[in-house]
Amino acid sequence: MKSKEKIVVIMGATGSGKSALSVDLALHFKAEIINSDKMQFYDGLKITTNQSTMDERRGVPHHLLGELDPEEGEVTAAKFRNMAAHAIAGITHRKKLPILAGGSNSYIHALLAKSYHDQGNYPFSKNGTICSELNYDCCFIWIDVAQPVLFEYLSLRLEKMMKTGMFEEIAEFHRTKKAPKEPVAVGIWKAIGVQEFDDYLKTYKWDNDKENWDPVRQEAFKKAVRAIKENTFQLTKDQIKKIRKLRTAGWEIRKVDATATFREAIRAAKERDRGDEMQRMIWNREVVEPCVGIVKRHLEQQINKNKRMRLM
């Protein structure tokens, strides 16, 4: 009987460091990364969707990241299953380790579940069922951050994103792209930030001279930013709820606490201290080193099993 292909799956709420950890592990284990964040499939809105920059990827090959035309529309879970399975096959053929990283847990379930059906069973609905039989030999890692700390970090991150061009990026996207003719938003048009600024951009022509905006316009802008924060917070709650449901259904998901790193990031931001060296030290100690151990033990299981088979 052919053994299942081994893959590593990095899970967690938005902003919890999945992309960074996947690169750290890829460099350690000679791996390639497959994106499973459905807003990051598209070539566009790189700031808004928090796509890893080329520098942040550190030479590690990434798949399904920024590859699709924004006007292509919705990528169904079934389509993702096919695309990601093809990427995994290519990576394993190159004798590399596939690492799946992203926060779209329904897509992760679609890829990994043995008996997945695109229609009729949304696994995370009230009456939905989780399939515990998996297509791959998975090593699951959940990066967890205490909710109050994560929320504070996400608020600061949004402020930074706005300063580095998020609003301008969304305004240009609205100006140059045509939304698919659907009754509800689809594809990248569902990205947090795009819809929240929709009414604002329909009311006001774009200009970035915020100091000369009238009070009504300023309040409309602030309202959109508040909505982005609130919807981001709700997204993290939904993501964690889904991970817990997968765990309850029997998925062996190992949790690693990254709270200390994010507390340091918040302190550094408030004190205007880059704090990169301290953050990296805490991240390596509290997150990377434990995760390297988890993945190493997972990979060694198959090696030991093969040795026993040869001795029989």
Q: Of residues 230 and 125, which shows the higher confidence score?
A: 230
- Looking at the fold, whether 169 and 111 belong to one and the same domain comes out as no
As a whole number of angstroms, the distance between CA 255 and CA 277 comes to 24
- Looking at the fold, whether 63 and 30 belong to one and the same domain comes out as yes
For residues 21, 256, 271 and 226, what is the CA-based torsion angle, rounded to 10 degrees? 90
Does residue 206 surpass a pLDDT of 80?
no
- Looking at the fold, whether 252 and 190 belong to one and the same domain comes out as no
Domain count, the chain: 2
Report pLDDT digits (tens) over 5-52: 999 999 999 999 999 999 999 999 999 999 999 999 999 899 999 999
Domain extent at residue 157: 151-230
Predicted confidence at residue 309, as pLDDT, reads: 45
- Looking at the fold, whether 67 and 186 belong to one and the same domain comes out as no
Q: At what angle do helices 77-93 and 105-112 cross, to 10 degrees?
A: 60
Predicted confidence at residue 103, as pLDDT, reads: 92
- Looking at the fold, whether 39 and 162 belong to one and the same domain comes out as no
Highest mean pLDDT, choosing among 209-213, 240-244, 270-274? 240-244
Distant-in-sequence, close-in-space partners of 1: CB < 8 Å, separation ≥ 6: none
Q: How far is CA 112 from CA 11, 31, 93, 109, 260, in A?
A: 13, 18, 19, 5, 31
Does residue 118 surpass a pLDDT of 80?
no
Last residue of a domain, one of 230, 257, 280: 230
- Looking at the fold, whether 73 and 219 belong to one and the same domain comes out as no
Predicted confidence at residue 311, as pLDDT, reads: 44
Report pLDDT digits (tens) over 279-289: 999 999 999 99
Predicted confidence at residue 306, as pLDDT, reads: 54
Last residue of a domain, one of 187, 211, 230: 230
- Looking at the fold, whether 112 and 173 belong to one and the same domain comes out as no
The answer, as to whether pTM is greater than 0.85, is yes
Output the average pLDDT for the chain: 91
Task: Residue 20: name the closest of 50, 48, 44 by CA.
Answer: 50
Query: Residues 193-203: what's their mean pLDDT?
Result: 91
As a whole number of angstroms, the distance between CA 223 and CA 244 comes to 32
Does residue 223 surpass a pLDDT of 80?
yes
235 within some domain: no
Residue 131 burial by Cβ neighbours in a 10 Å radius (0-12, 13-18, 19+): buried
Residue 136 contacts residue 4 (beta carbons within 8 Å): yes
Predicted confidence at residue 231, as pLDDT, reads: 97
Integer distance in angstroms from the first to the last C-alpha of the chain?
Answer: 15
Last residue of a domain, one of 211, 230, 249: 230
Does residue 1 surpass a pLDDT of 60?
no
Does residue 304 surpass a pLDDT of 70?
no
- Looking at the fold, whether 56 and 133 belong to one and the same domain comes out as yes
Query: Residues 187-201: what's their mean pLDDT?
Result: 92
